[in-house]
Structure 1
Amino acid sequence: MLRGLIDTVGPDGEHGGSTLRGEAETALRALVGRDDAVLRDDQWTAIEALVAFRRRALVVQRTGWGKSAVYFVATSLLRSRGAGPTVIISPLLALMRDQIAAAARAGIKAVTINSANVTEWDEVHAAISRGEVDVLLCSPERLNNPGFRDEVLPRLAADAGLVVIDEAHCISDWGHDFRPDYRRIRTLLADLPAGIPVLATTATANERVTRDVAEQLAVHASGLPDADVLVLRGALDRASLHLAVLELPDQPTRVAWLAETLQDVDGSGIVYCLTVSAAEQVAEQLRAAGLAVAAYTGRTDPTQREALEVDLKENRVKALVATSALGMGFDKPDLGFVVHLGAPASPIAYYQQVGRAGRGVDSAVVVLLPGQEDRAIWDWFGSQAFPAEGQVRATLRALEQADGPLSTPALEPLVDLKRSRLETMLKVLDVDGAVRRVQGGWTATGRPWSYDAERYARVTATREAEQQAMVEYVRTPGCRMAFLRRQLDDPELTGPGLGAEAAAWRCGRCDRCGGVDLPAAPDAEAVAAARQEMDRPGVEVEPRKLWPSGLAALGLDLKGRIGADEVAEPGRAIARLDGLGWSGPLRDLLAPGAPDGELPVALRRAAARVLDDWAALRAQPGAPDPDETLPAEAPPAPAPDDDASQAPLLVEAVVAVRSVTRPQLTYHLADGLARYLGVPLIGAVGPAAGSEAPGRHDVNSAMRLAGVAQRLELQLSEPALRGLPGRSVLLVDDWTETGWTLAVATRLLRKSGAARVFPWVLGIR
């Protein structure tokens, strides 16, 4: 874990220093397993401040510099002097696993409490009470678990020998990876008894974030800041990294280039994508090209994540195709490359991710392949910002009026926020003192609370400026490492009093400095092969199986599992809107403000292929032929051509979800699918008279369902309704996000006698 983060002694074997420094370097050698290891000057300065003077310190140093050595060596010295265990607040399980392994090498007993080891918590607590634990690692989310916060944490805080906040930029809402749970650390620090040292570490904090974190570190029990915070900032150049940007015309060309390049590049590495769907699609295509890769995303099971991390460390895979879920703290010293398919939203986030490479090797290649869709993805993530004041006030009123604590599912139907945004907002309000998490849910504290609109606006403006800086990184004619270092306010390149040498600094290793020779763009044949693989349409639309809780408060008598006589069959879509291939034209077609019209020809072909490949629509060999067709609004078209499957169709009719915003598109789509299948379009499910305004999609699951259920009705002719019982129906809509429109429409059809309903949409958002 710690290769590359230490200096070595000179030829004379002398390293000198005080008795304390001698002890520190003995502990360091045990940690890294090298007899010639010595501390860097700033490492020693931080350790001395923590152990000898019990100060609070913030260390901002590049990835691979040795920040973890500071707190493990300090822990060893403090424990030998009778201090209590070190508490490390760490954001990721991958980081915790590496830290525990490193501690064990130095004879330091480290344990963790996190979501993946719930069954071990009681034993961990008992071992802490017996004094058998040197280091406890916990996630920031643990800090507000009621039992941990109220019972375990006070004892730890009172007895701790050292408190460490790893990846401390997460404390600041100016940082690229702000996490509300980290803001709770300010309260923890204010409650610490005097004399307990505190260390915060990060590799990705510019000057603004550094100041913000230092101010929060400085708060003591009085609530007032104490100026005695040691800040150590170092240069951020990474001498092993060779940075490059390659602009290619489209997604198939980028994936083809990646497939060819990974065949020849040395070592193993990480391929970053901006979305889960893109990561899964790219991994699938690279595997089809014969490469040993795997997807690693927020959807990956925690146990599987750990196995994949080991596979990459042991070079059993060429690459993990990952989202930002694989980021902070993952340590593979010989990681040979990092490639981004799509640009992160800020240079600071980009620096953090590329920092995984080249920690223990002389040279690692870092390539950015920007995409035209990057800004749309940034905008979507930006839309998840802190909610408007009215939504916050509504949440507080709901909690104030409740008879007791409300769980998040119980609160969700009372406010118009999706669960993920609601949970994030509650965490911020908790830190601000307006709500409190208790056993059973959330309660309002009754404390005054003000909506800091000015601050939220400044944070939004900062995010937008970072996005523009990322665009400028792609276009810059100058040194790429210099650009990143200046974005992070590297003290060697920014600030007053620096001379011409700092202004003219160049790394000599990036593509602008002539230090990278990338493979050329792939040939037309390779691009065509990638495009063919990418153009294979069809993803499953999983039907809703459970009604959300709390619907009674919204006037709906629905709860529990959706009945077998009301649920849809697994459906199909051409693609997810956040993926590759068909996702691009679908995003353009379904974008807000896009004109209504007929389905483009290319998407018609994709729709037909999805139907052809959908085996569930056709009877198995030996099944009876469908009965006569249903009465239709218009005569059915001729049967499909000879290329279509000849197996008997189970689907006997098509029903459209009538759209207010795209009526021409949805009718053309449903009619075209009916004609292709040779069955009638018999009607629609649509908004009742007087409820033509479309419902909001940016609300939580319960409210979305309530809006749909109160708005939609079955719009079939009397003959079609009489002929519906026992029939199977293809239900067609333009796109789906929550799945509730499809669920309500299916329920209406099933309650009117439809035997099966197969949902079909263009895209999944």
Structure 2
Amino acid sequence: MATRAEAQTILEQLAGPDARLRDDQWTAIEALVVQRRRALVVQRTGWGKSAVYFIAAKLLRAEGRGATVIVSPLLALMRNQVAAAERAGVNAATINSSNIADWSEIHDRVRGGELDVLLVSPERLNNPDFRDQVLPALARDAGLVVVDEAHCVSDWGHDFRPDYRRIRTLIAELGADVPVLATTATANDRVVTDVATQLGVGSGAGNDTLVLRGGLDRESLRLSVVQAGGPAQRAAWLAAHIDSLPGSGIVYTLTVAQAHDIAALLREQGHEVASYTGSTEAAEREQLEADLLANRVKALVATSALGMGFDKPDLGFVVHLGAPSSPIAYYQQVGRAGRSTASAEVILLPGREDQDVWRYFASVAFPSEVMVRKVIGELDRERPLSTPALEPLVDLGRSRLEMVLKVLDVDGAVRRVKGGWVGTGAAWEYDEPRYRNLDEARKREQQAMLDYQSTAECRMAFLRRQLDDPELGAEERCGRCDNCTGIRPAVDVDATAAEDTRQRLMRPGVELTPRKQWPSGLGKLGVELSGRITDGPAPGRAIGRLTDLGWGARLRKLLDDADAEASDDIVQAAVKVLASWDWAARPTAVMGLDSDSHPLLISSLARKLAELGRLIDLGTLRYAPGRRPVTAANSAYRVAALERAWSPPEPDPIEAAGGPVLLVDDMTDSGWTLTMASRVVRAAGAPAVLPFALAATS
């Protein structure tokens, strides 16, 4: 039988000779290894949850038990966990999207009993090969199953990782004496209850379940909120103060565009930083993590892609340039800092535009029942359809379609097989109460995040209360935050520095990459287009993105306001973009696109650009009679709706211009409107079309 002394020995291998196993850690390990119980551990970041499952895995293997399966959500977390396991002499491997070439060998090692620990992403649980060939043996012979970051089951629900809900199926198929551990640092009462329901662990899941729920105070964190003003002032504040922050750290932004823009701005001013987002290649992510761990950069400017499980014990600061939409997400991200330091700075720089970003992400939540049933109806029970083949048959973008399919798979209405997806014929009910409750919870948490910014109470106590910390006293204060100490970071920014930052951020110009390939399946929608696009536009430009820290707010206001003539500052911004455009051939003419919402804005901008640039004004490319506004979400439906959307223009003026045509629109998102309109203009005789938009959505 495993002993505490054996557990202590493994801990020293894992964390060093000075590490000491705490009583509550041994309580969890003993419940799993000796008593074969199920456990839910809700403890703050840095408590040592990973030590519990690695020690338990090693002890169970010593007793001849099978491999421990750890379901883990992010690549950064998996890499850190494998490295930690190796330090403790644990044979560990991971199966994820970045090591596809190794999957077959790892599968063989699992079947051969060579691994102590296998880390898998929740999506891997429904890969047909893994599900049918590897998972049954794991479920039968597993020594322990661990669900790390278990709040993903509830807190983000279907709109983050629907595959987390699939874990309950794995657990249901386990042998009676296979222990299960669910861990998280960020769970309030609602999340704890939902995790218990989804996974069969935790309070309410049975009298024999161990629940270890500790206090969430982080004694090293110094929380502050800095109301520095608009986007330029906040960026200037960061540039002025980042070098005075301790050690190296993370600057979080709400969008990918902001991460790239802020990183570029800071680098221009001599700061060693790099951007890290969900679009960063896996190999580059690994290098950037290593650079931060080794203090080769002052900071990574990151989206939430750098979050759970990234383990740099001496991380000196976390700055948020924009507020996350919930205190739970905020607590999880700031928990990266100060894990082995006496003090770490945690600073929030909120902006008024944060709520626009929250609303956008909320708008792409789970679709309507009609749309979901359309997906089910298009799937055959025998003939698989791949996601690209299904996409033209339903009006959903690729990412939302994949999310719907995963939810339906978890619910048993569809099944993933080799070659794609099939229907199961099983009855399915739209869980409207669940989606409504998620939306209501999201709104409550957004309001709580606004309240955090303005509260006069202890900020750490505020966050702990949002997480239903069982150890929080009625009048408890941390004594470290700006509200407790009265010591606040300076808000003022040097006027010259702020203006310089504003000028840098307000430099207009975003490249618009043209579409190169037609969506698959257009023939099913009556459009005979396929393969490469050979008659579309050249690369284009926009003044800025709606999410930009510089131009974003101004462009959003411009497009929200009533239609009016283009103002001088918009025209001058457009001229600056055109002047810096490295085109192969200068345009000789300009044409505006017809618009339902901004016809005067577009036509006046086109006219003024014609005057200033000495271009031929070709007027407006008009909508065809009977044309309907395009509301389609996915690419195939958009192209089908835009086919024959404009009346062909007179070819004589276009041919007389003799050169490329500048095609002006107010906003571009998917790029299909400018692609399809450019084809019409080229068909009328233009040798090339140069798209130009006031704003891009991303």
CA contact (8 A) 1:170 1:177 kept: no
Match of 2:44 in 1: 62
Secondary structure of 2:129's partner? helix
Match of 2:652 in 1: 719
Deviations, residues 652-693 of structure 1 (Å, cap 9, x unaligned): 1112111122111111121122222111121333321111x3
- Counterpart Cα distance in 2 of 1:666 and 1:740: 18
CA contact (8 A) 2:180 2:201 kept: no
Is 1:437 the equivalent of 2:425? Answer: no
CA contact (8 A) 1:243 1:509 kept: yes
- Counterpart Cα distance in 1 of 2:22 and 2:564: 66
Structure 1 segment 417-432 matched on structure 2, within 5 A: 417-432=396-411
Is 1:536 the equivalent of 2:507? Answer: yes
- Counterpart Cα distance in 1 of 2:303 and 2:228: 21
Match of 1:709 in 2: 643
Is 1:77 the equivalent of 2:72? Answer: no
Match of 1:621 in 2: none
Match of 1:30 in 2: 13
Q: Percent identity?
A: 59
Match of 2:629 in 1: 694
- Counterpart Cα distance in 2 of 1:138 and 1:681: 59
Structure 1 segment 173-212 matched on structure 2, within 5 A: 173=155, 178-212=160-194
Choose the corresponding residue for 2:615, options 671, 679, 699. Answer: 679
Match of 1:259 in 2: 239
Structure 1 segment 472-491 matched on structure 2, within 5 A: 472-491=451-470
Describe the shift of the 1:39–1:514 C-alpha distance in structure 2 as closer, same or farther (beyond 3 A): same
Structure 1 segment 435-514 matched on structure 2, within 5 A: 435-493=414-472, 502-514=473-485
Describe the shift of the 1:533–1:458 C-alpha distance in structure 2 as closer, same or farther (beyond 3 A): same
Structure 1 segment 61-210 matched on structure 2, within 5 A: 61-173=43-155, 178-210=160-192
Structure 1 segment 543-562 matched on structure 2, within 5 A: 543-562=514-533
Match of 1:217 in 2: 199
Match of 2:599 in 1: 663
- Counterpart Cα distance in 2 of 1:448 and 1:484: 42
- Counterpart Cα distance in 2 of 1:315 and 1:173: 32
Is 1:373 the equivalent of 2:356? Answer: no
CA contact (8 A) 2:618 2:654 kept: no
- Counterpart Cα distance in 2 of 1:219 and 1:350: 25
Describe the shift of the 1:352–1:256 C-alpha distance in structure 2 as closer, same or farther (beyond 3 A): same
- Counterpart Cα distance in 1 of 2:201 and 2:408: 19
- Counterpart Cα distance in 2 of 1:137 and 1:265: 35
Choose the corresponding residue for 2:386, options 402, 407, 410. Answer: 407
CA contact (8 A) 2:150 2:195 kept: yes
Describe the shift of the 1:176–1:528 C-alpha distance in structure 2 as closer, same or farther (beyond 3 A): farther
Q: Which amino acid aligns with 1:164?
A: V
Match of 2:688 in 1: 756
Describe the shift of the 1:30–1:142 C-alpha distance in structure 2 as closer, same or farther (beyond 3 A): same
CA contact (8 A) 1:572 1:760 kept: yes
- Counterpart Cα distance in 1 of 2:646 and 2:392: 19
Describe the shift of the 1:379–1:257 C-alpha distance in structure 2 as closer, same or farther (beyond 3 A): same
Is 1:246 the equivalent of 2:226? Answer: yes
Secondary structure of 1:690's partner? coil
- Counterpart Cα distance in 2 of 1:19 and 1:305: 39
How many angstroms does 1:29 deviate by?
Answer: 1.2
- Counterpart Cα distance in 1 of 2:490 and 2:557: 31
Secondary structure of 2:583's partner? helix
- Counterpart Cα distance in 2 of 1:104 and 1:48: 22
Deviations, residues 352-395 of structure 1 (Å, cap 9, x unaligned): 00000000101000000000101010000001111111101111
Secondary structure of 1:687's partner? coil
Q: Which amino acid aligns with 1:703?
A: Y
Secondary structure of 2:301's partner? strand
Choose the corresponding residue for 2:275, options 284, 291, 295. Answer: 295
Q: Which amino acid aligns with 1:663?
A: P
How many angstroms does 1:515 deviate by?
Answer: 6.5
CA contact (8 A) 2:111 2:137 kept: no
Describe the shift of the 1:105–1:173 C-alpha distance in structure 2 as closer, same or farther (beyond 3 A): closer
Deviations, residues 399-441 of structure 1 (Å, cap 9, x unaligned): 14x8611111111111111111111111111111111111111
Is 1:228 the equivalent of 2:208? Answer: yes
How many angstroms does 1:710 deviate by?
Answer: 3.8
TM norm structure 2: 0.97
CA contact (8 A) 2:387 2:420 kept: yes
Runs (5+) with no aligned partner, structure 2:
none
Describe the shift of the 1:718–1:536 C-alpha distance in structure 2 as closer, same or farther (beyond 3 A): closer
Is 1:652 the equivalent of 2:598? Answer: no
- Counterpart Cα distance in 1 of 2:126 and 2:487: 47
- Counterpart Cα distance in 2 of 1:430 and 1:542: 35
- Counterpart Cα distance in 1 of 2:557 and 2:178: 56
- Counterpart Cα distance in 2 of 1:478 and 1:425: 41
Q: Which amino acid aligns with 1:611?
A: L
CA contact (8 A) 1:176 1:349 kept: no
- Counterpart Cα distance in 1 of 2:78 and 2:366: 29
Secondary structure of 1:76's partner? helix
- Counterpart Cα distance in 2 of 1:356 and 1:336: 9
Select the structure of larger CA radius of gyration.
1
Deviations, residues 517-544 of structure 1 (Å, cap 9, x unaligned): 4134211111011011111110100000
CA contact (8 A) 1:242 1:516 kept: no
- Counterpart Cα distance in 2 of 1:61 and 1:457: 29
Structure 1 segment 603-642 matched on structure 2, within 5 A: 603-616=570-583
Deviations, residues 553-579 of structure 1 (Å, cap 9, x unaligned): 11000111112xx03211000111112
Is 1:20 the equivalent of 2:18? Answer: no
Deviations, residues 552-605 of structure 1 (Å, cap 9, x unaligned): 111000111112xx03211000111112101111011123xx311112322222
Structure 1, 609-618 or 131-140: larger mean CA deviation = 609-618
Q: Which amino acid aligns with 1:723?
A: A
Secondary structure of 2:469's partner? coil
Structure 1 segment 307-346 matched on structure 2, within 5 A: 307-346=287-326
**Count of paired positions:** 696
How many angstroms does 1:19 deviate by?
Answer: 6.2
Secondary structure of 1:37's partner? coil
- Counterpart Cα distance in 2 of 1:125 and 1:19: 29
CA contact (8 A) 1:189 1:219 kept: no
Choose the corresponding residue for 2:672, options 724, 740, 748. Answer: 740
- Counterpart Cα distance in 2 of 1:521 and 1:746: 48
How many angstroms does 1:175 deviate by?
Answer: 6.2
- Counterpart Cα distance in 1 of 2:265 and 2:510: 15
Deviations, residues 281-308 of structure 1 (Å, cap 9, x unaligned): 0000000110000000111111100000
Match of 2:250 in 1: 270
- Counterpart Cα distance in 1 of 2:158 and 2:675: 38
CA contact (8 A) 1:244 1:516 kept: no
Q: Which amino acid aligns with 1:605?
A: Q
CA contact (8 A) 2:72 2:120 kept: yes
Deviations, residues 445-477 of structure 1 (Å, cap 9, x unaligned): 111111121221111001000000000000101
Secondary structure of 1:615's partner? coil
How many angstroms does 1:444 deviate by?
Answer: 1.0
Q: Which amino acid aligns with 2:164?
A: Y
